[in-house]
A and B are shown apart, each in its own frame.
Chain A
Amino acid sequence: MRNHLFLALHLSKPELKVSWINYIGQYLFYSLFTFLFIQGFQAQESRFVGLDLFLLMLFVFGPVWFRVKGLQLQQVSGNTWVSPATIMGLHLPVANRVIILKSIIIYLISSLPFQLYMLIMLYLFSPEIRDSMSLDAYISFVIIWLSFGIYAGLSVLTADVGTNMNNKKSTYILSILLIASIIGFIFFMPYLFTYGIVEWSIIFAKKWSLASAILSIMFAVIGLHYWKTKMLKQMKKTDYL
């Protein structure tokens, strides 16, 4: 395992080296959203309605939006999409687990520091947030969301290790329907359940700070293990033609 980690860090180095300018762009992007969230919170008098989708997108897709051009998902054959970095790893004398571990390391480096920066800035610059949550509750809120970034965010890495997509019309239609349902649910949640996802996470953080934080960390650990195993299985059956 230690050897795997060492090799994964070795594979990560060149990617990190060429990504620094994109990380500056990502920092500015998160700063912009921090400003928008503070304004939204202020305008809605400490409510967070309609902004859930943006926060969720930032915690799931934010880290992959700013990838270097040569490392973005690529179609390598008729129906296979994969991260070029995965293909490069597959040509090297490293185990598939190492390639997956490297993807996770890069994802976490591209997500956690920026998300943490945003959450700290929100607390420092929004009196409404400070008024609505004690420091304990806010730490729990931060853990809930950083953990979400791990157990939900890592799902995007399954695309990195490659998928042999089928080009059937029904698959496209089902995918679009699924995405539309998720967006619809997130959008209409405040009308159906009084509060949206972010507001519910604030309630949980305030009422059950410790339990919410512990559960979230557990989800993050389980999620990490689940996605690692899923990616490994996917690699075993994908044809990189």
Chain B
Amino acid sequence: MEPLLYIADLEKQVMDDFHLGPINLKLEPGTITALIGNNGSGKSTLLKTIMNLVKPDHGNIKIDNMFVHGENENWKRLVAYQPQTIIGWDAFTGEMLKKLIAPLYPDWDEALFQKMVELFEVPLGKKFAKLSQGVQQKLNLALTIPRNAPLLILDEPTSFMDIPSKKLLIDLLVEWMESGNRSILIASHQIDDIKKLSDYLFVLHNGKMLGHFEKEELTSTYARYWLRDSLSDTRIPGEVTREDRMIISDNPMETEAYLEAKGIQWSNRSSLELDDIITILLNNKKM
């Protein structure tokens, strides 16, 4: 299947102190990818580069086979982007913004917009600048998701939202994905968003790509062992971290083969939670 979003060898130097890339990423239609990284890892910069708001120094980005940084700007119709910080909306009311945005998208879903406004209790008659950050975020989502563009890009969509609204949004996004061959790329620090929504995880650390993982595969890769006896200082194959008699491995098969060969017994084995795995990945070191 042709990827909806294709990024190859993307690099960008920002100021003197930050370098993004090289980044390689392919997003297939019908998938949700969570963009994960430490603060300042370049998640927003990467999303802005996809939107042609930031120009790359090297590499290519294609959306539905159209170069984002080329002359043809038709790819813009295929993307709905929700930025982390909304600029330019302050002077307008929600109603004015809806009248501006909706006609630009042929597949605009008015019923979904009305549903989201009602669910999130967004006052459409108030100026954007007068709304709280949480309500601004809700209005922004209500004006982004109903665009029904094949690629939905969300940058920290729930950072200011209350807990019930976060749950509502996850349900809405799951429902939205059922309607067709759509993809979501979502930058988030919220583990619930990542756990419930994502099929893939794309991990960045200080601008560098750590990997593009299938979520289920990633969780099955890691295992935690409680050993019966103390260990020597020798490193065990697959070992990522150890604490007293507990070790974490990112290669359970190799680890178990080694332990069995050495006659080391374990009293318990468990899989790791996704947030523990992300922590290990982001720390980028053997704990």
The yes or no verdict on A and B being binding partners is yes
Of B86-94, B172-180, B272-280, the stretch lying at the interface with chain A is: B86-94
* B73 within 8 A of partner (CB): yes
A70–B100 touching, CB < 8 Å: no
Do the beta carbons of A88 and B77 come within 8 Å of each other?
no
From A15, A88, A96, give the contact of B73 (CB < 8 A): A96
User: A residues within 8 A CB of B89?
Assistant: 70, 84, 88
Query: Is A119 at the interface (CB under 8 A from chain B)?
Result: no
B48 A240 Cβ-Cβ under 8 A? yes
Contact of B119 with A by CB under 8 A: no
- A186 CB to nearest B CB, Å: 34
- CB contacts under 8 Å to B, within A181-208, are none
Cβ contact of A241, chosen from B48, B77, B96, B103, cutoff 8 A: B48
The 7 closest A-B pairs by CB, nearest first: A88-B88, A70-B91, A70-B90, A84-B88, A93-B76, A240-B53, A87-B87
Chain B stretch 50-89: residues in CB contact (< 8 A) with chain A: 51-55, 73, 76-77, 79, 81, 83, 87-89
B15 on the interface (CB 8 Å rule)? Answer: yes
Q: Which of B18-58 contact A (CB under 8 A)?
A: 45, 48, 51-55
Q: Complex Cα distance A71/B76, Å?
A: 23
Chain B count of residues within 8 A CB distance of the other chain: 31
Cβ–Cβ contact B96 & A14, under 8 A: yes
Q: How far is the CB of A183 from chain B (nearest CB, A)?
A: 32
B97 within 8 A of A: yes
CB of B129 within 8 Å of the partner chain: yes
For chain A, the bracket of interface size reads: 35 or more
Query: Counting CB contacts under 8 A, is A57 at the interface?
Result: no
Query: What B residues does A18 contact at CB under 8 A?
Result: 91-92, 96
Interchain CB contact under 8 A, A94 and B14: no
A84–B91 Cα distance when bound, in Å, is: 10
Q: Is B258 an interface residue (CB 8 A)?
A: no
Q: Which residues of B contact A239 (CB under 8 A)?
A: 14, 53-55
What residue of chain B has the Cβ atom nearest to residue A67's Cβ?
B91
With a CB–CB cut-off of 8 A, which chain B residues contact A168?
none
State whether B76 touches A84 (Cβ < 8 A): no
| B-chain residues with CB within 8 Å of residue A74 when the two chains form the complex | 87
- Determine if A169 is an interface residue (Cβ-Cβ < 8 Å): no
Tell me the minimal C-beta distance from A112 to chain B in angstroms.
Answer: 22
Known contacts A70-B129, A76-B87; is A90 also within 8 Å of B55 by CB?
Answer: no
Residue B101 at the A interface, CB < 8 A? yes
* Per-residue B-contact encoding for A160-174, CB less than 8 Å = 1, 0 else: 000000000000000
- Chain B residues lying within 8 Å of A96, measured Cβ to Cβ, are 73
Name the contact of A14 in the complex, choosing from B52, B73, B83, B100 (C-beta under 8 A): B100
Bound CA–CA A226/B77 (angstroms): 28
> Are A241 and B90 neighbours in the complex by a CB distance under 8 Å?
no
A85 interface contact, C-beta 8 A:
yes
Nearest-Cβ distance from residue A73 to partner chain B, whole angstroms: 12
Contact indicator per residue, chain A 79-98, by CB within 8 Å of chain B (1) or not (0): 00001111111111111100
B103 contacts A91, C-beta separation under 8 Å = no
B residues less than 8 Å from A15 (CB atoms)? 91
Query: Which A-chain residue is minimally distant from B144 (CB atoms)?
Result: A91
Q: Is the CB of A17 within 8 A of B96?
A: yes
Residue of B nearest to A14 (CB): B96
Partner of B55, one of A85, A86, A236: A236
